[in-house]
A and B are shown apart, each in its own frame.
Chain A
Amino acid sequence: MSAAQVQAGADADADVATYLDAALAVLRAAGCGGMVYCQRRSEWSARVRQGAIERIESALTGGMTVTALNTGNRGASATSTEVSLASARQVAAQAVELSAWSDVDEWRGLPPAQECGVAGGDLQLSDPGYADTDHQRLVDAAIAAERSAFAVDPRISLSHRSGASASRSQVWVTSTAGVAMQRSGTSFGFHATVVAKSAAGERQSGSWHTSARMRGALRSAQEVGAEAGRRAVRGFDWRRIPSGAGRVLLHRDVASQLLGTLAQAVSGGLVFRGATFLAGKLGAMIASPQVTITDAPLLPGHLGSRPCDGEGVRARTVTAIDQGRLASYLVDGYAARRLQHPYTGHEGGVSNWQLQPGQASFEDLLHELGTGLLVSGFQGFGVDLASGSFSKGITGFWVEQGRISHPVQEVTVAGSLPQLLMGIRTLGNDPLEQTRVSAPSLIIDGFTVGGT
């Protein structure tokens, strides 16, 4: 094990290191290779409603997972919530025993040592003041946010699911190939969800939130509350619109959801299964040339940042779609070997998955849309990555000559992801913030609108 592969963080726990070694010893004694993953987490959360605390929860949790690789790369794993020496040995023994039942799989294995390690120096993932967190201040912020939401409009009088949270987690990864990694991080957040009731008795809800690795980076309670309130009343006096097809403006909230779908579509596990419409498309133009999408794990202080992935593979910035061309899949070790694709460090999914913003302001986008549909919310699960079929309910606004005319509800949009990607026309300069998946608002062609 070289020095570069060890990050002896200030909070390294000597006991856990002993457990990891014990599990590796069980694997080696059985003639197996393998990997041990251990995590510990402390979390606290509160829910508030109508100015009072409704619930406070706290917990200390943990877990160990041992993956055993038997002769012929037959793999199996075992997990326990108990983090202890006895548990480490028992879980390792269970994984070894189970692995005898798996069939030979030449692609299974461990990431080689040269792919492993920690990158990025100080990624600012942990708030040094976590241990001294004054939970009452977080509760106060959630209550203040709720109050700010109520102040937006007299029709808002009910609070629902407002609250705050704080957590700290530590992860250890070691393997029989000589990898030994540790990472830790904190996160803080609070949110407000309020319900507005119209004179006619119709209810609409709105919510907003803030979350960050450092408590000091949270948005103000006033800002969160005001946005939640605005969202609760913006949909009143909605109308339906006729069915049709055409250009649509996706607000950054929903553009980011669409972007999240793409993260799955380029994941190696779906590619080798032929379960994504992007299988076999490496190097091809799959989106309009404005589209560049990167996964950036090394941005200091960002929610998705990490020095290494869940297999200990060194984190690196990956451009998955480069000016419309599919440049890379996102692979874990198995998919990397199976697809003969370079390692990207994606065991555990994306880190900070970003569609690079463009130049247009939101006003510019409204103007470019002219008359048409602005989508502000998606509902439902209607995506199939194999076929690329996309179909969801939406909420939004009708735009007339570049100005928002009225809210729209009970409408669907549907399209095919390959066509939609090619149909992205103009990108906004307003990327969604404080999120792991971030896109700007954008104008897109190719949706069919289902209305009256």
Chain B
Amino acid sequence: MSLAAQLLETALSRGGDHADIFAQQASSRSLSFEEGKVKSAHQSASQGIGIRVVVGEATGYAYCEIFDEATLLATARRASQIAHGQAAPSAMLVGTGLRHDLYRAEHAPAAAPMAERVALLRRMSEHAYAHDPQVQWVSCQLADQDETVTIATSDGVYATDHRPMLRVSVAVHARSGARRESGSAGGGGRLGLEYFTTHPPEELAAKAARQAVTLLTAVPCPAGQMPVVLAPASSGILIHEAVGHGLEADFNRIGVSAYSGQIGAMVASPLVTVVDDGTIPGDRGAINIDDEGVASRRTTLIEQGRLCGYLHDRTTARLMGAAPTGNGRRDGYGSVPIPRMRVTFLAAGEDDPAEIIRSIPRGLYAVSFGGGSVDIAKGDFNFHVTEGYLIEDGRIGPAVSRATLIGNGPEVLRRVTRVGNDLALADGQWTCGKDGQSCPVGQGMPTTLISEMTVGGRS
């Protein structure tokens, strides 16, 4: 703690409104299982310290990977170059306890025998191959990380958080004559191998294999505007892209988001309540504290259609006169914290999911998703549907080929006409990218009807 105090003092030696230190040590392991055998194993260690000085709207940031005192002090001095004034004071560091205890890693992967991890992947692989003779290739991966971050700030916070992460994934390639298709599935969270007691490896294997095999006989997806029913859980990608990013305060502070200046306004159908919650135990997007030492919390962004707040880091909160929301997150010690989502979802409504589908004469039912993205200024977003079905006369019909769906965030949120009572959170496999930084996030959705979206199909 005394070295931290010394570094903060050096960081503020030319002045500044705020300084902080982010120290991170991480070790990770991954195992890949392909063609029925252990293909490779990998182990990785990283450590680094990032030092930041904030002066008004300007930030100086420097980081290094060597923990000796001279290098650290030089790093603090480099960060301080942004400032040009008299030394600013730093508060006495006080060990700060954590308000939350959200991670669930009872059976830590690092402590588990390698044979146990191999056995899990073998089960997964064998099940995917056995699913259908058209399955040609299965690759499975199990990765875990142990990360310890320590945050010290010039306003006196000194907090440490140990963050576990487990991620499992399976990719399946299937072939029928000249036609090739692929499927994938994944899951995990801030937990240990006990994940597999509630999520047997066979489940993910079957999901990926089903996707690939179903696509082999899928009909072309239609093109143009039509009603779209989003299935529960992973469809939360719509909320993430259509509204989540647009409500990150860095964009709104400088007025470049389609949602800038809209606080208090109706920005969505009254059926829409959007929440970003960092406190869901074990979820991939859960954090006890954010990467600036602010306690995690549940933040309501849109309440029955009305915009009530943005996602803040400390800088945007200070500059906009708002309370921090615990969304200051970063890729690692090599990156400055910026406002990021945690677990973002559309709150449950009251409709019967089956009734929602029955109400559609012709439309698309979207179940599984690849990536998505958004143009912040316009609010135009897209996501890729990797498993979808036609809805014909109120019934789920044939599977359709992959297609990208597009829409304008504010417009699509006004077209939310039915919301089901079946909110579910996606299994933990999503990673969000922003400004070149990756962050693990979660998302959720109940069955939801969008009265009209543009579908990028081929028929």
Contacts and interface: CB of A to CB of B under 8 A. Distances in A.
A79 interface: yes
A424 to B, nearest CB: 18
B38 A54 contact: no
B397 interface: no
B223 A160 contact: no
Interface in B316-336: 334, 336
A105 B37 contact: yes
A452 interface: yes
Interface string A246-284: 000000000000000000000000000111110100000
A274 B137 contact: yes
Interface centre among A75, A77, A79, A380 (most CB of B within 10 A): A380
Given A76-B40, A79-B45, A105-B39, A450 B375 contact: no
Interface string B141-172: 00000000000000000000000000000000
A429 interface: no
B127 to A, nearest CB: 19
A190 B64 CA distance: 24
A243 B458 CA distance: 10
A427 to B, nearest CB: 25
Nearest to A77: B42
A3 interface: no
B280 interface: no
A81 B38 contact: no
Contact of B404 (A52, A386, A392): A392
A391 B173 contact: no
B41 A380 contact: no
B173 A49 contact: no
A61 B47 CA distance: 10
Contact of A160 (B254, B372, B380, B386): B254
Contacts of A7: none
B255 A450 contact: no
Contacts of B251: 160
Contacts of B457: 391, 412, 414, 448, 450
Interface in A408-451: 409-416, 448-451
Contacts of B44: 78-80
Interface in A178-199: 195
Contact of B456 (A54, A57, A412, A416): A412
Nearest to B455: A450
A276 B136 CA distance: 13
Contacts of A411: 454
A279 B43 CA distance: 31
B430 interface: no
B38 A101 contact: yes
A409 B380 contact: yes
Contacts of A102: 38-41
Nearest to B47: A81
A81 B78 contact: no
Contact of A414 (B254, B403, B407): B403
A380 B382 contact: yes
A416 B455 CA distance: 16
A339 interface: no
B274 to A, nearest CB: 21
Contacts of B435: 161
Contacts of A413: 456
A327 interface: no
A452 B224 contact: yes
A382 B60 contact: no
B114 A379 contact: no
Contacts of A56: 59-61, 81-82
B112 interface: no
A420 to B, nearest CB: 11
Contact of B42 (A98, A195, A277): A98
Interface string A100-143: 01111100000000000000000000000000000000000000
B61 A412 contact: no
Interface string B162-204: 0000000000010100011110000000000000000000000
Interface in B357-399: 370-373, 375-378, 380, 382-384, 386
Contact of B382 (A104, A392, A449): A392
B406 A99 contact: no
B454 A57 contact: no
Nearest to B222: A450
A204 interface: yes
A205 B377 contact: yes
A411 B224 CA distance: 8
A450 B385 CA distance: 15
A386 B370 contact: no
Given A54-B57, A412-B454, A389 B401 contact: yes
Interface string A151-162: 000000010110
A161 B257 CA distance: 13
A58 B78 CA distance: 8
B408 interface: yes
A91 B63 CA distance: 23
A15 interface: no
A448 B223 CA distance: 8
B308 interface: no
A277 B175 CA distance: 11
Contacts of B1: none
B21 to A, nearest CB: 15
A53 interface: yes
Contacts of A81: 45-48, 65
Contacts of B407: 410
A277 B177 CA distance: 12
Given A58-B62, A382-B384, A101 B82 contact: no
Contacts of B173: 273-275, 386
13 contacts: A56-B82, A62-B65, A79-B45, A80-B46, A203-B257, A204-B378, A205-B377, A380-B383, A381-B370, A409-B378, A410-B408, A412-B406, A412-B457
Given A275-B137, A380-B371, 5 more contacts: A60-B64, A80-B44, A80-B45, A104-B37, A412-B406
Which A-B residue pairs are the 6 nearest by beta carbons?
A412-B456, A450-B223, A382-B404, A103-B37, A380-B382, A381-B371
